[in-house]
Structure 1
Amino acid sequence: MIEAIGLSKRYGDTVAVDDLSFTVPPGQVTGFLGPNGSGKSTTMRMILGLDAPTTGSVTVGGRPYTGYRRPLFEVGALLEARAVHGGRSARDHLRCLALSNGIGRARVEQVLDQVGLRAVADRRVGGFSLGMGQRLGIAAALLGDPPVLMFDEPVNGLDPEGVLWIRTLLRALAAEGRTVFLSSHLMSEMALTADRLVVIGRGRLLAQTSVADFVGSGTGSFVRVRTSGRDALAALLTAQGASVVAEGPDTLKVTGVSGDAVGELARVNHLGLQELSTHQVSLEERYMELTAQTVDYRTADAALAAAPN
């Protein structure tokens, strides 16, 4: 698990991260979202001890990352795929990392196979394509077979086959009970890969929830339910904070709760349903809605579109 408590980072008068608290639990893929300049990279660097927080703390597995003697066994991370010596081969790069943490050479060969770089393992990294560099970075993250994995934009430069591969890999790692923390600007991929989301804007937490609940909370999302117990269900939903509008003698339009929650509430109260349908905005639409006022860099057209009428 990753846990940040009151995490802040200042660079002079600039506040990059502002009193940020969140958790990344094991067994799920947690997506990390935010506009450019929102503090995502700074936060990841603080998790790995590359930047010291101004205030607050962050732990991995209950300890600061810098407290581990052999950190590759605890956390695997890909923050910058090009942060390698271009004159080394892929195999030698991984062997150097392995040696620093007491990892055997056999494990190097395993991860080369796992990421599909066996055929080019002896080529110099400086000649690698962007996609090959990403695969090498992922191999380095997997080297110590760690319980916690962090990836910053891991699908950059990958072709469609590579994108599918990394998506499948991340979900498989989470299914094994590992903590997987993933940053990406590709909303379509995040919708297919992540179970949970941590969303920040201008260094502050905007949301920390499941993907389903995040999308379901959008203003364009609603649940339509038809039942002979319309009034009783409406009262129950209103009591739980949902917004309910009658659309006929037996139909309700509900916002603020998920379709599963509506169905469960009806079941435990013995209210039969004739229809239960969910109409949702996309993850991208919900994300744009939430972060509209925290974007620091936008085109003139986008600024006009975001301006209040």
Structure 2
Amino acid sequence: MIEAVGLTKRYGDRVAVDRLSFTVRPGQVTGFLGPNGAGKSTTMRMIVGLDTPTAGRVTVNGRPFAALDNPMRELGALLDAKAIHGGRSAYHHLLCLAQSNNLPKRRVDEVLEKVGLTQVARKRSKGFSLGMGQRLGIAAALLGDPRILMFDEPVNGLDPEGILWIRNLMKALAAEGRTVLVSSHLMSEMEHTADHLLVIGRGRMIADCTVREFIERNSALALRVRSSSPSELAAVVARAGGKTAPASDGALLVTELPAERIGDLAFEHGIRLYELSPLQASLEQAFMELTRDSVEYQAAPLRESS
């Protein structure tokens, strides 16, 4: 378990992490989300002792990471896939980590097989693709067979098969009762992978809940309606306080009115309904809505060409 209380990090006048308090529990995949510059990487670096908090504390199984007797046996982390000596092979990179952390040599072959790098184990890592580097970083995180895993953008550079593999790996690790914390910008992937979410913006916690709760709280319920008279129904809905938008196939997307009210309005005005169904908002839509005011760098809106 990872626990942070009032965790704060300042760089001069800039506050990168602002009084974060959270718990990452075992048995589930916890997604760590936020716009660029939100403080995710800084927080993860403080968890493993690479950065020192300005205030507050963060512990791993009740102790600071630096105080752990065998840190790689308790927490494995992928923070930077490029942090590898390019002249070393994948095998010797992992062997060096194993020997310096008093881990059995057999673990090197085991994790290489687990991440699919056995055939290139003796090749120098400087020739690895970005995806292969990610797999090697994941192998290093798994080397000590830790109960806690932490991954920063683990699917960078992976092809669809690799993305599916890391998704299944995370779920399998959580199913074994391990604690899994993963940071990612791929909302669609987090929607399929994470059980719980920690969302930060400008260094502050703005959501700590399940994926379903996050979507329900931060997205308006939309209803898809197909009818015998879309324009008439749109006018009726507008008079009742609802909002409509046309769909590409002639249906209406209606918000701010419940399904029952739309059905009653259609019946009262003699409009036949062919479809009245809720639309499930995506994690990406909910995330964009919640973090709208927390984005550090915003581009100017694109103008349509004439």
Structure-2-length-normalised TM-score: 0.81
How far 1:244 moved relative to its partner?
A: 9.5
Distance 1:174 1:278 in 2: 31
Distance 1:249 1:133 in 2: 53
**Cα offsets for 1:101-152 (capped at 9, x unmatched):** 1111111100000001010001111111101100000000000000000000
Distance 1:191 1:113 in 2: 28
Alignment correspondent of 2:66: 66
Q: Secondary structure at the match of 1:174?
A: helix
Q: Could you tell me whether the CA contact under 8 Å between 1:30 and 1:195 is conserved in 2?
A: yes
Alignment correspondent of 2:90: 90
Distance 2:133 2:31 in 1: 22
C-alpha change, 1:245 and 1:189, in structure 2 (3 Å) is: closer
Matches within 5 A, 1:116-195: 116-195=116-195
Matches within 5 A, 1:225-240: none
How far 1:11 moved relative to its partner?
A: 0.3
C-alpha change, 1:249 and 1:16, in structure 2 (3 Å) is: closer
Distance 1:5 1:201 in 2: 17
How far 1:249 moved relative to its partner?
A: 11
Matches within 5 A, 1:194-209: 194-209=194-209
Bigger Cα Rg: 2
C-alpha change, 1:248 and 1:293, in structure 2 (3 Å) is: closer
How far 1:25 moved relative to its partner?
A: 0.5
Q: Please tell me the residue identity of whatever aligns with 1:100.
A: S
Q: Could you tell me whether the CA contact under 8 Å between 2:29 and 2:194 is conserved in 1?
A: yes
Q: Please tell me the residue identity of whatever aligns with 2:292.
A: A
Q: Could you tell me whether the CA contact under 8 Å between 2:219 and 2:285 is conserved in 1?
A: no
C-alpha change, 1:222 and 1:2, in structure 2 (3 Å) is: farther
User: Which stretches of structure 1, 4 residues or more, deviate above 4 A after TM superposition?
Assistant: 243-246, 248-251
Any unmatched runs of 5+ in structure 2? 224-255, 265-276
**Cα offsets for 1:67-86 (capped at 9, x unmatched):** 11221000000000010111
**Cα offsets for 1:15-64 (capped at 9, x unmatched):** 00001111111000000000000000000000000000000000111111
Q: Could you tell me whether the CA contact under 8 Å between 1:215 and 1:221 is conserved in 2?
A: no
Q: Secondary structure at the match of 1:247?
A: helix
How far 1:222 moved relative to its partner?
A: 6.9
How far 1:250 moved relative to its partner?
A: 10
How far 1:281 moved relative to its partner?
A: 1.2
Q: Secondary structure at the match of 1:19?
A: strand
How far 1:280 moved relative to its partner?
A: 2.7
Q: Secondary structure at the match of 1:163?
A: helix
Distance 2:71 2:108 in 1: 16
Q: Could you tell me whether the CA contact under 8 Å between 1:77 and 1:151 is conserved in 2?
A: yes
C-alpha change, 1:278 and 1:25, in structure 2 (3 Å) is: farther
Structure-1-length-normalised TM-score: 0.80
Q: Could you tell me whether the CA contact under 8 Å between 2:6 and 2:20 is conserved in 1?
A: yes
The alignment-based identity, stated in percent, is: 64
Distance 1:58 1:195 in 2: 22
In the alignment of these two chains, the number of paired residues is: 261
Q: Please tell me the residue identity of whatever aligns with 1:201.
A: G
